[in-house]
Amino acid sequence: MVAVVEADGLVATLIGVGVVLGSIYLLYWGAKQFSNGWTIWRNDPVDVGEVHLEEGIVEVQGVAEPIDGEVLSAQYTDRKSLAYEYERKEKRRRRDADGETEWEWETVESGERARSFHVSDDTGTVAVDPEGATVSLDEERVGGGARTRKYEGRLEPGDHVHVFGQKRTATDGDPPGDRQEFIGDGPETDEFTVSDATEFRTVLRYLGKGTAAMLAAAVALAIVGWIGLEQLQNGGIVTLGLVAFP
């Protein structure tokens, strides 16, 4: 028995498998974003003063306010915030497959922080515990230079806020506010979200991310399929190897 394994074919196949698996994950993730957006869209926000009457999933929007004056300092601007996201990118030189030099922006630092806060409207106030939430904020460039860029998104006191989560009741320990009821994460909500946008814009953000992910996956799968078809038409090897038996 003679086993002949084409090294180039093996590498190409492994890359192709990786692209396919990555694309499948992107399709799943994109579909999840669509599902989250649809879930928020088919619910209606309630008045903050009526949260104590709700059970399970609850959605509110209003003005974000600190609890007992406690705030965070944003990562780059030090501005008073209730939640913030940050990202720093650096322009770095790399060589492509052909040995040519190219410059790419690479994320070298990123993160987010959030603390408990109040949501208020004309009907009342409710506390929000953001632990476990997806924080969605408009980011802006706040610094950097020719080879560095700093971006930051903030939820500041007085900003509009949209919250989609679960009504919780403090049964052990102190609640985040002055009432036992608050909004937080829980088993009845698939996507606990804190956003500095309206309900409509929050939904659009989810749909936009889902569309981008699914388009990227479709393009990657199309390229892999086209390359594979070309190899087949040219008589190339597209499997892990070629095994010949006497």
User: Rounded to whole angstroms, how far apart are CA atoms 155 and 137?
Assistant: 7
Q: What is the pLDDT of residue 211?
A: 84
How large is the average pLDDT for residues 68-88?
A: 96
Q: In a 10 Å sphere around its CB, with 0-12 CB exposed, 13-18 middle and 19+ buried, how is residue 26 labelled?
A: buried
Which pLDDT band holds residue 237 (cuts at 50, 70, 90)?
very low
Q: What is the pLDDT of residues 23-74, one digit of tens each?
A: 787 777 777 777 777 888 888 899 999 998 999 999 999 999 999 999 999 9
Residue 184 pairs in a beta bridge with 166
Question: β-strand 83-95 against 148-155: which pairing, if any?
Answer: antiparallel
Q: What is the pLDDT of residue 90?
A: 94
Task: Supply the mean pLDDT for the chain.
Answer: 83
Q: What is the pTM of this model?
A: 0.75
Helix (H) or strand (E) holding 217: helix 199-233
Which pLDDT band holds residue 241 (cuts at 50, 70, 90)?
very low
Q: What is the pLDDT of residues 122-133, one digit of tens each?
A: 999 999 999 999
Q: What is the pLDDT of residues 150-179, one digit of tens each?
A: 999 999 999 999 999 999 988 755 678 777
Contact 225, 35 (CB under 8 A): no
